[in-house]
Structure 1
Amino acid sequence: MNGSTAALAAAGSPPPVHAGPAPALVAVGAAGAAETPARETFYVSLLGAPAIWINGEPVQIRGEATRRVLVHLVLSSPHVIPNHRLIESTWGGSEPESAIEQIRKIISKLRQGLPGGKDLIRTEPGGYRIMLNAQQSDVVLWRDAIRRAHILLQSDGEEAVLEQFRDALDLWRGPALDGLEGHPFANESVSLHEERNAALEAWCQLAVKRLGAPSVIARLRREVTQRPLEERLWDLLMTTLANSGRVLEALDEYNNLCKILSRSLGVRPSPRLQARYRTLGATANNLAPDLFPLLPRVRRPADRTTPQVPDWIKDLLRGQEPNPGYVMDSRWNVLHCNHAMERWFPCMAAENANIMRWALTDPLAPVTLHDWDSHVLVCLGMLKLALAKYPGDPTLSSILRTFKDTHGTSAALIRDAIEVETRENHKYTVNVPHITPAPVQVVSHLLMPAGNPNLRVVMLTPPQGRVIL
């Protein structure tokens, strides 16, 4: 590294290094053509945290303004960037009065520090441009590789196209332009990731045929782990799983995404992904798509009248895994579910989820509960006793009113209701084909924790007391 190059380097450790830039670095002369290997070489990587290499060694750029100018030039190569846009991207509207003079100084420093810098960065009327080839920038190399892949799709065999896409995807070290915010970097980052997702989708379509679904699914699982908030990757993973006959895993991945989005952003998946989930769930359950429930986003915060669920009860339900378990209050409002319960009965994680409302009014209940007519008589009896204990309760009254509105024979059913307070150790059969194709027999265990009189802990186990699945 010569003295002028050293002027660019900041104190501290260099940026993370790729296992060597993918292309062999070459020197650049006045016209941008390859010269003798003895000259210094320059390579800049933006498909990850921005980093540069000189003679194959990582070098940091001293100063945020210098870094932003260089990255903006590279992103726009080979086009001219007007001075006012360089100023805007460097200071974001808070530029100093001497901004234009500082831009000139930054350009001068870059020209001194970069190999062939005087010819690499050119002064144009009203601005500057940098002239890079694919051997000097991973962004240029990436776009050239994708363009070649699409050309090969029209003529060459799938093996060559598959290899081209794979090599292009392997250029990425992490999120594009990681650490750079503001205009134009945020928009460029989104654009680059859209290009990458399109390339990944094209690779998947070819790789399923050439490599098999397991290899593609394994890569997609790594992708969603690295970028967990990118829904398009989850969509691709769910689609690939479903197309390879693994519908239940696809549904489980949707539930995983719901948890991540709820915890990180407080939102639910996009309407498109919700629709895909409904379609897959309906297929697994032999239902119309609008009857399969969505796993909702976040349970609303409990109000003052809602009993709080102690951490030790949550730990108890976690230990119940993989068997379902949940906590409700004395009016059957569901307050907390373990993961197995959410997988088996997604609607139980919803705001205002209520066991009695589901059993008596949800169109999925007659499909899920074997001998639903018998369940209805017991549920109505429990509801009548509860209303006698809590006359005029809005939740209980609403459930009964909805049941009457949707069932023409409700008067006879209410008259014949079997009045019981609880269903401790009740044995019944459920149909959950999105979990397992065969009906499952379960026993419902009711626990009333001492010191928490308003809570009811329910655990579902097989008759033998072992793990259900």
Structure 2
Amino acid sequence: MQRGKPLPQKEVAQRMEVSERWYRNLESNAGAPLTPEALIRLSTALALGPDERLALYRHVHANTKLGEPEPDGPEEARSALTHLLATHERYPAYIVDHAWNMLDCTDPMADWFPWVREPEANLLRWALTAPEAREQLTDWPRHAALYLAQLRFALVSSRDNRQLGALLDEVLADPECRRLWDEETKVVAYRQGHRFRLRLPHVSAREITVTSQVLLPAHRQELRYVLLLPESDPAPLPNRGERDPAQCRS
């Protein structure tokens, strides 16, 4: 969340209109009260963007649960999203959990990306480490930087999560991912409304431009429903034979 050089404690305290001692206690976890108002002041003092503010809030309140009653359980939330998938069978759409494990998807998603049928398929692992991802995701370095920024947000939001930690270790074993990780400290919450291009020669004779729409269950925000909306129908391949619909079920 830095903006170039780290800000001196005195300057941040002045921007927040608090004592330097209070801010020093905050940085050292010495019990300085971080109220909602103080969070707003801190976010403003550090010139945080929307995603960074959300990451800070999630980090501070990582163990805080909302007061509203929860639904019956995660299976009910996932079942509702699976039902939603059935209404979007025309488009690539999928459900992932907090660590980008592929839980469910539509047939077009499996048609575009056959790897989703594999056991323990993981979106982030594929996008950052699979050689085919670097061919299929146009301008891969930009995609990789965004996925790493999302992973950074997830790690801030879910402290001490072993699955995310293991995923980070696996991703950073790749030299290019390590370089991108070290170059930026950006955080991104979700890729809502992200417009990007795909090279899928097994699907279309030309590049496909899509926009991602991300839905979160109100009480189960560890689940994500993502719909890829093409700007136009993919150009059909010549003499492409009919195939049985692919199934993607965990």
Query: Normalising to structure 2: TM-score of the pair?
Result: 0.58
CA distance in 2, matches of 1:339, 1:393: 31
Would the aligned equivalents of 1:378 and 1:417 in 2 still touch at CA under 8 Å?
no
Structure 2 counterpart of 1:453? 221
Would the aligned equivalents of 2:144 and 2:177 in 1 still touch at CA under 8 Å?
no
Structure 2 counterpart of 1:316? 84
Given candidates 344, 357, 365, the residue that maps to 2:112 is 344
Gaps of 5+ in 1: 1-305
**Superposed displacement of residue 454, structure 1:** 2.8
CA distance in 1, matches of 2:185, 2:206: 30
CA distance in 1, matches of 2:176, 2:201: 29
Structure 2 counterpart of 1:390? 158
The secondary structure found in structure 2 opposite 1:336 is strand
Alignment CA distance shift 1:412-1:348 (3 Å) = closer
CA distance in 2, matches of 1:426, 1:408: 23
CA distance in 1, matches of 2:127, 2:118: 15
Structure 2 counterpart of 1:435? 203
Alignment CA distance shift 1:411-1:341 (3 Å) = same
Structure 1 counterpart of 2:136? 368
Structure 1 counterpart of 2:102? 334
**Superposed displacement of residue 467, structure 1:** 5.4
CA distance in 2, matches of 1:408, 1:454: 28
CA distance in 1, matches of 2:142, 2:220: 31
Alignment CA distance shift 1:411-1:391 (3 Å) = farther
**Superposed displacement of residue 468, structure 1:** 5.4
Show CA shifts across 1:425-445 (max 9, x none): 100001111111211000000
Would the aligned equivalents of 1:333 and 1:354 in 2 still touch at CA under 8 Å?
yes
Q: Letter of the aligned partner of 2:138 in structure 1?
A: H
CA distance in 2, matches of 1:346, 1:325: 13
Q: Letter of the aligned partner of 2:174 in structure 1?
A: T
Alignment CA distance shift 1:380-1:439 (3 Å) = same
CA distance in 2, matches of 1:453, 1:413: 25
Would the aligned equivalents of 1:461 and 1:467 in 2 still touch at CA under 8 Å?
no
Greater helix share, structure number: 1
Alignment CA distance shift 1:450-1:405 (3 Å) = closer
Q: Which has the higher contact order (CA 8 A, sep 6+)?
A: 2
Structure 2 counterpart of 1:379? 147
Structure 2 counterpart of 1:42? none
Would the aligned equivalents of 2:193 and 2:213 in 1 still touch at CA under 8 Å?
yes
Given candidates 111, 123, 137, the residue that maps to 1:355 is 123
The secondary structure found in structure 2 opposite 1:378 is helix
Paired residues, what number? Answer: 162
Would the aligned equivalents of 1:429 and 1:441 in 2 still touch at CA under 8 Å?
yes
Alignment CA distance shift 1:366-1:412 (3 Å) = closer
CA distance in 1, matches of 2:196, 2:140: 10
CA distance in 2, matches of 1:325, 1:348: 11
Alignment CA distance shift 1:417-1:354 (3 Å) = farther
Structure 1 counterpart of 2:55? none
Alignment CA distance shift 1:426-1:444 (3 Å) = same
CA radius of gyration, larger in: 1
Query: Normalising to structure 1: TM-score of the pair?
Result: 0.32
Would the aligned equivalents of 2:203 and 2:234 in 1 still touch at CA under 8 Å?
no
